[in-house]
Amino acid sequence: MQSHSGNKPISIWVVFIIAVLFGLLTIKSGASVLFFEGAAREDAGNYVPFVLWFNFSIGFVYLVAGVGLFMLTRWSVWLSLMIAFATLIVFGLLGLHILADGLYETRTVGAMTLRTAVWMVISVVAYRKIIRQ
């Protein structure tokens, strides 16, 4: 199904919007815990620093990937896949941290599950719409 705006598939518009919004929200939430004393840091509880730094940093990559997806570039497909796998690796490291009795918040496991799933879906959609046209 094609949209009428620039002849881009609707699915590309959807993954672009999700990638950019996800990126902006990730950067905002990460920065509020990492760089500002106050409620956000207190509410974060037992956050896992390497997970927080990874998510904050990769938020900027989400924005680049989103713009690339919007422009229908092949590199954005591979960048999306890299984001999905990097997130999966950090998720695995979080699992090892938890198994080693490290402190964590249950919502971090949920957030990493969501991030991994979102980027796997974005990667599949991007591959199908940009590479496999």
Per-residue pLDDT of the chain (133 residues; tens, 9 = 90+): 444 456 899 999 999 999 999 999 999 999 999 998 888 888 899 999 999 999 999 999 999 999 999 999 999 999 999 999 999 999 999 999 999 999 999 999 999 999 999 999 999 999 999 998 7
Phi-psi domain of 37 (left: phi exceeds 0; alpha: psi -120 through 50; beta: other): beta
Tokens matching residue 103: 């402190």
β-strand partners of 2:
9
Phi, psi of 2 (to 5 degrees): -105, 150
Tokens matching residue 12: 């590309």
Q: pTM for the whole thing? A: 0.90
Task: Please answer whether residues 69 and 16 qualify as being in contact, where contact means their C-beta atoms are separated by less than 8 angstroms.
Answer: yes
What's the confidence (pLDDT) of residue 7?
85
